[in-house]
Amino acid sequence: MVLISRVVWAGLGAAAAAALIPLALAHADDEVTLDKAGPDVPNTALGPDGYVGFQPYFTEWQQDQPVNVVVNGATVGSYDVFETDRATPYTDQSVYDFGAATSGTDPGGLEGATVSDFALDPSFNAATEHMPPSDVTAALDNIYVTFSNGNEEDVLTTASGTNFYVDNPASGSADWFEAPGSTDPTEIFSNLPDTSAALAAVESISSLLPPDVWWPGI
C-alpha cells in the first residue's frame, strides 16, 4: 500500500527513567530510532489496498507495519505495529498500536502502547497528496502516547509554544511549557520523584513514532 510519505522530526536521542519511557530508551546518551523491519501489509478487511474514502474529503488507510527498535545503530528487537491514518482537508491523524514484540522480548517496553499524532489545518491535504513537501506546517500538532502500564506522555505544539505533559498513575504527574524559539521548558507543576527524567522522556516522544510519520513545523 502506498501511504503518505512523511518527514520525521529530528528530535531523537533524549531519554529518561524506565518508569516513564520504555526501558531500551532509558539512557540519555543513546540514539534511538524506529526503523522499518519489512514490507507493510495492508488491512484489506477495511477495503482494497487497506483504503476507504471519498477524496478529497476523507481517506482512511490501515496496515500492519513491522518495526525494529534501533539503539546506537544496533537492532535490539522488533514489533508488529498496526497503523491507521485518517485525513481530511483540515486534519490528519496517525494512530500506531504496538502489538507483541516479534523478537520474543519487549525490547522497548512498547508492547501494548498506542502512539497518536494529530495535526490541525496542515499545509497540505493528506486526503489527496501522498508526497507532501519537507516544510509542511500546521496550526496545531499533538503527539500522545499511552503505555500498557497506564503511563501517558503528551506534547502539544501551537504557534504560542509547546506544552509537555507526563502522567504516571503510580507516582504523579508534571507539566511544562516552552515558548517559541526556546529550548528550555518552564516547569508549571510536578509531583514526580524525578522531574528532570520525566521531562527528558516527554521531550523525546517523537522517537516513538514509526518511520513513515510526518511532524509538521509550527
Domain extents in the chain: 23-208
* 8 Cβ contact list (under 8 Å, min separation 6): 206, 209, 211, 213, 214, 215
Lowest mean per-residue pLDDT among 14-28, 41-55, 146-160: 14-28
Judge contact between 100 and 195, C-beta under 8 A.
no
pLDDT 10s digits, 146-181:
999 899 999 999 989 999 999 988 889 999 999 998
User: Counting beta carbons within 10 angstroms of the beta carbon of residue 117, is it exposed (0 to 12), middle (13 to 18) or buried (19 or more)?
Assistant: buried
Residue 62 phi/psi, 5° resolution? Answer: -135, 140
Query: What is the C-alpha separation between 99 and 106, in angstroms, rounded?
Result: 10
| CA terminus-to-terminus distance, the chain | 29
pLDDT 10s digits, 175-217:
999 999 899 999 999 999 999 989 988 998 888 888 865 555 5
Please count the other Cβ atoms lying within 10 Å of the Cβ belonging to residue 48: 9
- 11-15, 29-33, 72-76, 189-193 — which one is most confidently predicted on average? 189-193
Query: What is the C-alpha separation between 75 and 24, in angstroms, rounded?
Result: 11
pLDDT at 126: 64
Peptide bond into 56 cis (omega under 30): yes
Task: Reply yes or no on whether the pLDDT at 22 is more than 60.
Answer: no
Question: How much is the CA Rg of the chain, to the nearest whole Å?
Answer: 17
pLDDT at 201: 87
Task: Reply yes or no on whether the pLDDT at 218 is more than 50.
Answer: no
pLDDT bucket at 89, cuts 50 / 70 / 90 = confident
